[in-house]
Amino acid sequence: MALFGRSAGRPPLEGVDTVLADLDGVVYAGSGAIPHAVDSLIRAASDRRLGYITNNASRTDASVAAHLRDLGLPTEPADVVTSPQAAVRLLATRVPAGSTILVVGGDGLVSEIEKHGFVVTRSARDRPAAVVQGFAPEVGWTQLAEAAFALATPEDDGGIPWIATNTDWTIPQARGIAPGNGTLVSAVHTAVGRLATVAGKPEVPIFEEAVARFSSRAPLFLGDRLDTDILGANRAGIASALVLTGIDRPKHVLAAPSGSQPTYVLSDLRELHEPYPEVIRKDGVVRVRDARVRVDGADVSILAAGGSQIDLLRAGAHAIWDTGRQIFGFRVPDRLYADPFHRP
């Protein structure tokens, strides 16, 4: 079951002093806002702190803040915690100050590395002290090849460190789902047979930085991915809400392993302000409002679909999660996989 308890009828924001939101798939997809996200976050920020955590390394914190302001969200660069910031903090523990770093990525990563006194190169011929890799749309074969050349020697045999800002496999865009930094990191891994050290979500440091920066004692993290957003929040001991407006869909919620189960499952961010239903367990039946689901051996049965697909999904997810078993061991009715929710 999920790591944080639920109180009957209380909105997810009750008792929260800081909302920490992922960006891609939660606030926006490409350049445009996710439906209902801006108004919901403005309302949330009326009596609590609002900050952002992003694994997207392609832009600076200042450019992200400007984008959010264009969407109608008052934002300063200090409100944005980025994976390049986490990568540079990790880098500083691995190589001497002022070292030359081979950067695979865009302006957001280059700016952060130079801001901390490191020298940026794009060529392995410059004998870099480390490789730092992050997503940017313009990354191509040439940059990936230079990283592979620089990383040819394993670190245990005297090779240099390799730090990845994140390993998200996909990234939501206005036109659909596109390959993310994980695919680019995997390309280098295939060439060199090494694994990168990851700085961003789901690793804990980026969450710890956000909590410290905003002096938060009761944060709530909003994300659209179970394997990075929710897993990372759980590792950091932060309550989380998965919002079904980005990458992960109902089928992923039902299959979530114990470490990636969110505190809340929301169809969109309006539900931050609505009473969250209690999950009631009685005589082997899991009920959420008028939706009821039971697990009998390998069969997941819908006893009552109720009037809301999101409540049926919540009931089905908890019924499966409570068994502690993986979903491929069950016969799951198609109705639980229904996906009427917004997607990029």
Per-residue burial over 301-321, b if 16 or more Cβ lie within 10 Å, else e, is ebeebbeebbbbbbbbbbbbb
Cβ atoms of residues 31 and 67 within 8 Å: yes
Which residues, listed in sequence order, are joined to residue 81 by a DSSP beta bridge?
53
- Tens of pLDDT, residue by residue over 62-77, are 999 999 999 999 999 9
What is the pLDDT at residue 8?
Answer: 57
Catalytic annotation, pick one of 24, 229, 248, 268: 24
CA pair distance 119, 88, nearest whole angstrom: 12
Q: What is the pLDDT of residues 171-220, one digit of tens each?
A: 888 888 899 999 999 999 999 999 999 999 999 989 988 999 999 999 99
pLDDT in tens, 325-335: 999 999 999 99
Amino acid of residue 288? V
Tokens of 11: 């909105």
- For 39, the token pair is 């108004």
pLDDT tens digit sequence for 10-42: 999 999 999 999 999 999 998 899 999 999 999
CA distance 241 to 265: 6
d(CA 233, CA 222): 9
**Please, are residues 166 and 53 in contact by the beta-carbon 8 Å criterion?**
no
261: closest CA among 288, 230, 233, 290?
A: 230
DSSP assignment of 195-223 equals -PEE-STTSSHHHHHHHHHTT-SSEEEEE
Structural domains of the chain in order of their starting residue, each with its CATH number: 18-79+202-273 (3.40.50.1000), 84-198 (3.40.50.1000)
Distance CA 15, CA 182 (A): 35
pLDDT exceeds cutoff 70 at 1: no
Residue 56 confidence (pLDDT) above 90:
no
Distance from C-alpha of 180 to C-alpha of 177, rounded to nearest angstrom: 9
Which residue in the list 17, 22, 283, 339 is annotated as catalytic?
22
The partner residues of 63 in beta bridges, in order of sequence, read none
For residues 134 and 168, is the Cβ–Cβ distance under 8 A? no
Active site residue 22: yes
DSSP 238-271: -EEEEETTSS--HHHHHT--GGG--SEEESSGGG
Please state, rounded to an integer, the average pLDDT across all residues of the chain: 94
pTM for the structure as a whole: 0.87
